[in-house]
Amino acid sequence: MTRRLIAGLISVAGFAGTAAAQSAPAAPTFAKDVAPIMFAKCANCHRAGEVAPMSLLSYQEARPWAKAIKAKVASREMPPWGANPALSLPMRNDVSLSDKEIATLVAWADAGAPRGNDADLPPAPTFVEGWTYGREPDVVLEMPVEFEIPAEGELGVQTFFSKIPFTEDKFAEVLELRPGNRSVVHHSGVFVVDIPEGSQVVDGRLVGPDGKPFIERTEAGLPKTDSGTLPGASKLLSWVPGRGVDVHRAAVGKRIPAGKYLNWQMHYNPTGTAQTDRSRLGIWFNKVPVTHELLIRQAGDPLATDTASASLYRAEGKEVLYKADTGSTRRSRTTPNIPPYVEHWSIIGITPVTEPITLYAMSPHMHLRGKSLRWVIVYPDGREQTILDVPKFDFNWQFNYELKEPLKIPAGSKILGLGVYDNSVKNRWNPAPHLPVYWSEQSWDEMYQAFTEYTVDSQVLSGPGAKLTTSQQPRQR
Ligand code: HEC
């Protein structure tokens, strides 16, 4: 008993102290104090059939985990959420616990996890089966094939292509990406792309004139698998456990251009038995006229409406060169490799804001060496504001951080994405610290994608002063 108490005081000294001081004699009980937190903040993952290893819906199920719950919430490892509240603007999809909720769970565990009176239990939460957005989508687009995932082996990223079936550009207020088979989809993403010249789509795969897989290569001969390097590429959304529904503001829509292709990027984990998956994309159109197109660019690339600025990335303080491919407007990034055993390796992407924009959300995408990523706005007067700080990037939890209040950014500002990688033995996820790290979509290589969602204020698509634009797709990198 004493031992347990001391361990508790060491690991969560601050919380245990305040909880004890404030909540006087009556310890929190499961029925009255803990269940409301579990139902609201844990049950979406901790129930049968979901991603977490155990259910926390009932007293019987939660009781054996009391100590682990205390440790995981006090360290803020659960629920998963990467933003450091001290250095980030408030997010509307913040799932983290308040200090008070943490104190309640810790005090409950310290008191021996009392059950309390079942009459105090809140109503059990209900969960929608099927589309989580609540109603049926206006349109559902499917992966072009039912893909067979073998029982074993390491699968590279699987890319599929399906033609967008619309005859005119459409705008989506809500997009939901749903795995067909939760047990094998590790994470996935859907992009809008043009297919490269000389290629065609056969059975959902990109093939060349000879019918063999079409693998485009950079001038250096490296394969281009990154959808960012496909022509006209624009990200729609990603799915990872806990994420997969993007809800935009009422009059802001994500463009789904007629005639282009959906590029499905699927990361599968074999499970020991052969499985199949056919993921689906649900689309809900805006209910009011769309005034602004939601654009997703990476920190480091110019705004979609900016044709004059060059992309700017700096790796370890040195400028990363961008080179136009011969005979094409497309360019490739020549990011240096991360050397072996390096613990702190930095890359910064800088986007010049050439006209006023409104920023809505940010999502860091890195792989196993990703350590931290921070967004900073530098205003025209030199003032710097951190708007999102993810101090301990976790490959397993790739969130979209949605600002509670959209942020107006004036022309003359800069958006900085400051990424840090750890290729040392200290990084417990590092599969090979003794090797240099290359850049590709495969998870054993690295990526730097500081995705930023915004609208361009001057772009008015409907209503008075509307300017009809063609699809404003990002320029290529
Ligand atoms: C977005 C999904 C998600 C949410 C929300 C979530 N968890 Fe988890 N939790 C997981 C997953 C997945 C694991 C197993 C992998 C891991 O530890 O990261 C886990 C692991 C745990 C563990 C460790 C289990 C072990 O084997 O030691 C505890 C304890 C826990 N969660 C408690 C909670 C509590 C309490 C909440 C709510 C306050 C919560 N979790 C919310 C997904 C979630």
- Contact call for residues 296 and 361 (beta carbons, < 8 A): no
pLDDT of residue 342: 97
Q: Is 258 exposed, middle or buried (0-12, 13-18, 19+ CB in 10 A)?
A: middle
Segment 400-416, tens digit of pLDDT: 999 999 999 999 999 99
Of the chain, the end-to-end C-alpha distance in Å amounts to 60
Give residues with Cβ within 8 angstroms of 461, minimum separation 6: 289, 290, 291, 292, 293, 467, 468, 469
Q: What pLDDT was estimated at residue 7?
A: 39
Output the pLDDT for position 220. Answer: 54
Ligand 1 centroid–CA 46 distance in Å is 7
State the pLDDT at residue 348: 96
**Distance from residue 270's CA to the centre of ligand 1 (Å):** 22
* Closest of 350, 229, 227 to residue 298, by C-alpha: 350
Residue among 73, 78, 97 to mutate when testing ligand 1 (max atoms within 8 A of CB): 78
Residue (of 421, 310, 428, 426) closest to 371 by Cα position: 421
Residues with a CB atom less than 6 Å from ligand 1? 41-42, 44-46, 51-53, 65, 68-69, 72-73, 78-80, 97, 241-242
What's the pLDDT at 442? Answer: 74
CB 283 within 8 A of CB 157: no
Q: Compute the C-alpha angle 76/81/85, nearest 5°.
A: 75
Please, are residues 180 and 276 in contact by the beta-carbon 8 Å criterion? yes
Q: Residues 189-214: pLDDT tens digits?
A: 999 988 888 889 999 998 988 888 88
Q: Which of 11, 82, 81 is nearest to 42 (CA)?
A: 81
Please tell me the distance between residue 96's alpha carbon and the centre of ligand 1 in angstroms.
12
Q: Which stretches in the chain have pLDDT values below 70? A: 1-25, 216-232, 322-333, 462-477
- Rounded to an integer, what distance in angstroms lies between the CA atom of residue 349 and that of residue 280? 32
| Cβ density class 445-477: b for 16+ within 10 Å, e for less | bbbbbbbbbbbbeebbbbeeeeeeeebebbbbb
For residue 209, report the distance from its CA to the centre of ligand 1, in Å: 49
- Closest ligand 1 atom, residue 37 Cα: 38
pLDDT digits (tens, 9 = 90+) for 114-142: 999 999 999 999 887 788 887 899 999 99
For residue 57, the one-letter residue type is: L
373: which residues sit within 8 A by CB, 6+ positions away? 364, 366, 390, 393, 417, 418, 419, 420, 450
CA 56 to ligand 1 centroid distance, Å: 9
